[in-house]
Structure 1
Amino acid sequence: MNKSQFVNDPVHGFVTIPKGLVGRVVASDMFQRLRRIRQLGLSDLVYPGATHSRFGHSLGAMHLMGEALRSLGMKGYAVAGEDEEAALVAILMHDLGHAPFSHTLEGILGGLPGHEQIGLALMERLNADWGGVLDRAIAIVRNEHEVVFLHQLVSGQLDVERMDYLRRDSFFTGVQEGNVAVDRLIKMLTLHGDSLAVEMKGIYSIEHFLLARRVMYWQVYLHKTVVAADRVLRSIMLRARELLRAGAPLHCSPALRFLLQLSPIGAGERIEKEVLDAFLQVDDSDVAIALKLWTQSEDELLSVQARSLVWRRLPRLQYVSAPVSESDLSALRRDYGRRHPTLREETVHQLIFGGEARNRAYDPGGEAIVLVDDKGRGRALPELSRILDERVTAAEDKRYYLCVPRD
């Protein structure tokens, strides 16, 4: 791309895509694939407007990175031009490794590792093809860059990715609780030593940011119907994998078939070229088409669950006060099996299940959010906040659930 481009973003207004390396990344096939990966997976089954993509989110995060670097630069913390470009590229490419339907199928689609490991492998592949121009961006992602706060802006307790997805997801779901004051948050950023920090007067903006994140998790990301749909989709893909590995005929795209039959790849293991090739071929449309075909499958479990998801006849999930015991699950399955004698025991077993959902708005064991006073003294946020109680700062904020068919 020989000149800068402008994109009219519904969340941030006009977003500039700089010419040069940033524009080249945006135009790449790897990045364009993100147009076909939904940001919120199956959340549109609850919030019909939540069909936005990882592409828009990545552009929005890049925009906020630029705003953050400009704000810090005005306070005397400017970075070199090549490092600014590298930071924009790093945040732009942070979601390259997402599987179809985003987090829903992470770790389920064949033997693929987490999206961070896949994303880094894709960055390194593109870097090799482009003669090493992504070295600095990769160093930022790996937290190996000499400017420490650049990595914190990409991946930290107060990174620009979180700022964008809260605003963006709030906009497209209509859940106003996530509409945080991102502009003010960015204006309050500063440094304490070499690390990212916040000016003391920004404490209320930080509190709002963390509380909004907690609310968005329980109201959107872990909404009971979304969790039920996620569990059904994961179960469908696991069943498809079993059938393919057993040699059963199953209609799906060649790339999806390849990934479903893939042997597990461990954390830190090399991801081979043919695996990355197949990964880049697969997006939400491959899974959506397969689901429609599988509603007619001769395999009972696969067809029952595919129809449940495609026609939105999802099981009823309710949050409960304690873990559901195996004896309670067995009793529920026996009763359901008696009322539906045509279903096989294996099918009934998969239709009734329990589990837990976890939400962590602030990680007390991670790198603390530090607030800096007028004299340059820094203090960790939990020492100063009067409203961030154990619900927000707890290592685990979790709820248990039970899921049963509606009939």
Structure 2
Amino acid sequence: MKLKNKLKILNDPIYGFISIPSEEIFKIVEHPYFQRLRRITQMGLSYLVYPGAHHTRFHHALGCLHLMQKAVQVLKSKSVEISDQEEDALYKAILLHDIGHGPFSHALEHQIIDKVTHEQLSGHFMSQLNKEFNGSLTLAIQIFKGEYHRPFMLELISSQLDMDRLDYLKRDSFYTGVAEGNINSQRLITMLNVVNDQLVVEEKGLYSVENFLSGRRLMYWQVYLHKTGIGAEHLLQSVIKRIQELMEKEIAVDLPKNLEYFIVNPDLDFDSNTHDLEKFASLDDSDILSTLKLGKDHKDFVLSELCSMILNRQLLKIKFTDHQIAPEKVQKHLSQLMLTYNLTAHEASYFVFSGNVVNAAYAKTQPIKILNKKGNLIELIQAGKEDSFKALLKEVKKYYCCFPKLQE
């Protein structure tokens, strides 16, 4: 039974009231593809570190839509020509830019489906919706894919200063309680302009941009690259990897049907096979949580232990260092684990990891252009005279090793 709902205003804890700009966009929000985002956690397993971080991709997408409306209003007030069709397309593109995310967002992006990114899946979902909505998403898809002749529209969706980043930093800051990400998105949007169809920032917004980039860098260290979160994601990825290995050996694993489809069918065709896309549309966080609850009672020690560790938050110990992890150190942890639990080297490798993370505030490959008072465009680092701007270019790499706490 489907009842007609005229709701056009939503109450958001970040921005207050968010309005849905048209009946058709509201129908897209109502679509099962989009409603699935209510069941996709925005920040993966970060709630194991920050208990409040249970917000979803649904929240984020609507927040991005709200900011895009503000950006369009600002640009139009500065005599930037944006037609009604372009405006509608911008709203649809930003609303759907993350619709291709799978369970737990980035945590499992390449585990369940290899070689297909969430951006590509978003494109497939948009193409399917375009068929259902009689071609009304054609322009939105062109903008999303960077095929439209006005580059600033893609920059509003995907760049170093896009509506996506402006929302997720502020939203993730709110739900984690990490104040460094609480950027002034409204101030940044007010400083936007367009020159030669390129997105620029007016000179008086220079320090707001610096604050935004610095806040993002701090959020990466404190939240997105938090060592406990990294360890938890490794465990979750190991669960999927172990399930795949067991099933290849024809060892039965009790799985939700939605997930089982992707484990037993690695060769997927989203370009021409609508069935595969529909199957993916039925997959969400609940399937992974069910898998963990079923897996903790499996006879295989590795799978059972991995699932139990996540469910009970008995996570790995992880240490960061400025130097590469010596292979002997990794081997030491592996040997201890093998001895303690009578595991093979391969089985122990599911619990011991090493790797690195990289964090940089600003990438010159996607320059932010500053519009000075003389009407000239200057790249951000040249526009900022202080040393603090040059510091934004510094890339920091940290190495890590994680292993079970029992090995101390």
The reply to whether TM is greater than 0.5 is yes
| Structure 1 gap ranges (5+) | none
For the 8 Å contact 1:192–1:376, the answer to whether it is kept is: no
Q: Which amino acid aligns with 1:333?
A: L
Task: Provide the TM-score with structure 1 as the length reference.
Answer: 0.95
Letter in 2 for 1:198: V
1:384 is aligned to 383
Q: Which residue of 1 aligns with 2:306?
A: 305
SS at match of 1:260: helix
Structure 1, residues 222-249: CA drift from partner, whole Å, max 9, x if none? 1000000011101111111122233221
Q: Report how far residue 355 of structure 1 moved.
A: 0.7
Q: Is this contact kept in 1: 2:268–2:276, CA < 8 A?
A: no
Question: Helix, strand or coil: the match of 2:159?
Answer: coil
**Residue of structure 2 in register with 1:220 after alignment:** 223
Q: Structure 2 matches for 1:38-187, cutoff 5 A?
A: 38-111=41-114, 113-187=116-190
Q: Contact conserved, 1:382 with 1:388, CA < 8 A, in 2?
A: no
Correspondence for 1:364 = 364
Contact 2:316 2:404 in 1 (8 A): yes
Deviation (angstroms), 1:391: 5.2
CA gap 1:61/1:295 in 2 versus in 1, 3 angstroms: same
SS at match of 1:163: helix
Following the alignment from structure 1 to structure 2, what is the Cα–Cα distance between the partners of residues 355 and 174?
28
Q: After the TM superposition, which residues 15-54 of structure 1 pair with which residues of structure 2 at under 5 Å, given as runs?
A: 15-54=18-57
Deviations 1:103-162 (A, max 9, x none): 000011143511000110111111122221110110110112233211110111100010
8 Å contact kept, 2:381–2:390: no
| 1:166/1:178 contact within 8 Å kept | yes
Cα contact 1:300–1:347 (8 A) shared by 2: no
The more displaced of 343-352 and 11-20 is: 343-352
Single out whichever of 151-160 and 110-119 deviates more from structure 2: 110-119
Alignment-derived partner of residue 273 in structure 1: 274
Judging changes above 3 Å, is the alpha-carbon distance between structure 1 residues 264 and 393 closer, same or farther for their aligned structure 2 residues? farther
Classify 1:20/1:387 alpha carbon distance in 2 versus 1 (closer, same or farther; 3 Å): farther
1:373 corresponds to 2:376: no
Could you tell me how far apart the structure 2 residues matched to 1:249 and 1:241 are?
11
Give the structure 1 partner of residue 399 of structure 2: 400
The answer to whether the 8 A contact 1:294-1:303 is kept is: yes
| Matches of 2:213 and 2:325, distance apart in 1 | 30
1:347 positional shift: 2.4
CA distance in 1 between counterparts of 2:212 and 2:272 reads 36
1:70–1:78 contact (8 Å) kept in structure 2: no
1:197 maps onto 2:219 in alignment? no
- The yes-or-no answer on 1:235 pairing with 2:234 is no
1:285 equivalent in structure 2: 286
Per the TM alignment, residue 19 of structure 1 is displaced from its structure 2 partner at its CA by 2.5
Name 1:351's counterpart in structure 2: 351
Judge conservation of contact 2:319–2:401 (CA < 8 Å) in 1: yes
> Structure 1 CA distance, aligned partners of 2:101 and 2:287?
14
CA contact (8 A) 1:2 1:19 kept: no
Q: Which amino acid aligns with 2:20?
A: I
SS at match of 2:17: strand
CA distance in 2, matches of 1:361, 1:273: 39
Alpha-carbon distance in structure 1 between the residues aligned to 2:272 and 2:220: 32
- Pair 1:110–1:378, CA change in 2 (3 A): closer
Query: Measured at CA, do residues 316 and 271 of structure 1 come closer, stay the same or move farther in structure 2, by a change above 3 Å?
Result: farther
Q: CA deviation at 1:78?
A: 3.6
Secondary structure at the counterpart of residue 393 of structure 1: coil
Q: Which moved further from structure 2: 355-364 or 252-261?
A: 355-364
1:295 corresponds to 2:296: yes
Q: Distance in 1 between matches of 2:337 and 2:121?
A: 41
Tell me, yes or no, if the aligned pair for 2:41 and 2:56 is still in contact at 8 Å: yes
Within 1, Cα distance between the matches of 2:249 and 2:391?
46
Q: Distance in 2 between matches of 1:391 and 1:271?
A: 47
Change (3 A) 1:341 1:168: closer
Secondary structure of 1:24's counterpart equals helix
- TM-score, with length taken from structure 2: 0.94
CA separation in 2, counterparts of 1:353 and 1:95?
A: 29
Q: Aligned residues, how many?
A: 402
Residue 318 of structure 1 and its aligned partner are, at CA, apart by 1.2
